[in-house]
């Protein structure tokens, strides 16, 4: 179960999902992300910004991680803010980010809540009004589809 908002003009992708997703759901998401990454590649001076809110504690599989890496490799510049309720996942993702080679063009952070993630993206040049609106639309769609609020959800979507 997922919802997403994509602004191709501003190179922003807001995605809210509940793990685990089916293979076909992941393929749909990754295909959309792939297309946006191709656009970002063509506009190499601009930064692709991603807000990813994950509900559920199951990790994604190896094939999905591989495909995500392929999508990330397409875009020359990106900021990715991931929100997850799992302390273990946040710890692992933070360690991975620290171990990765330092690169000011590709930055990643793992957060406890969407507000923290949005603040981080804004501090790197994203437009708060655009991100807030895209998050609210994605959140409403997620709830409409039967999504449940967890600690990774927003108190004020």
**What averages of pLDDT result for each successive group of 10 residues across the chain (157 residues)?**
95 93 88 95 96 83 78 91 81 71 80 96 97 98 79 45
157 found inside a domain: no
153 found inside a domain: no
155 found inside a domain: no
Q: Count how many domains the chain has.
A: 1
* pLDDT for res 23: 83
108 found inside a domain: yes
Give every CB contact of residue 85 below 8 A, 6+ residues apart in sequence: 54, 55, 56, 57, 150, 151, 152
Q: How far is CA 8 from the centre of its chain?
A: 15
Look up the domain containing 77 and give its range. 2-144
150 found inside a domain: no
Whole-angstrom CA distances from 70 to 31, 37, 55, 108, 122 are: 11, 10, 23, 16, 25
Identify the H or E element spanning 74: helix 62-74
Angle separating helix axes 62-74 and 23-42, nearest 10 degrees: 10
23 found inside a domain: yes
* pLDDT for res 100: 67
């Amino acid at each position: 179960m997922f919802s997403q908002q994509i602004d191709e003009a501003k190179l922003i992708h807001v995605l809210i999902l509940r793990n685990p997703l089916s293979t076909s759901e992941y393929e749909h998401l990754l295909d959309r992300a792939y297309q946006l990454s191709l656009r970002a590649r063509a506009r190499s001076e601009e930064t692709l910004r991603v807000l990813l809110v994950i509900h559920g504690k199951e990790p994604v599989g190896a094939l999905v991680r591989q495909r995500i890496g392929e999508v990330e490799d397409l875009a020359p510049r990106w900021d990715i803010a991931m929100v997850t309720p799992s302390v273990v996942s946040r710890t692992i993702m933070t360690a991975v980010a620290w171990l990765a080679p330092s690169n000011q063009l590709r930055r990643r952070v793992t957060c406890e809540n969407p507000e923290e993630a949005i603040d981080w993206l804004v501090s790197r040049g994203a437009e708060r009004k655009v991100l807030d609106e895209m998050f609210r639309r994605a959140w409403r769609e997620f709830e409409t589809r039967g999504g449940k609020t967890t600690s990774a959800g927003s108190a004020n979507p």
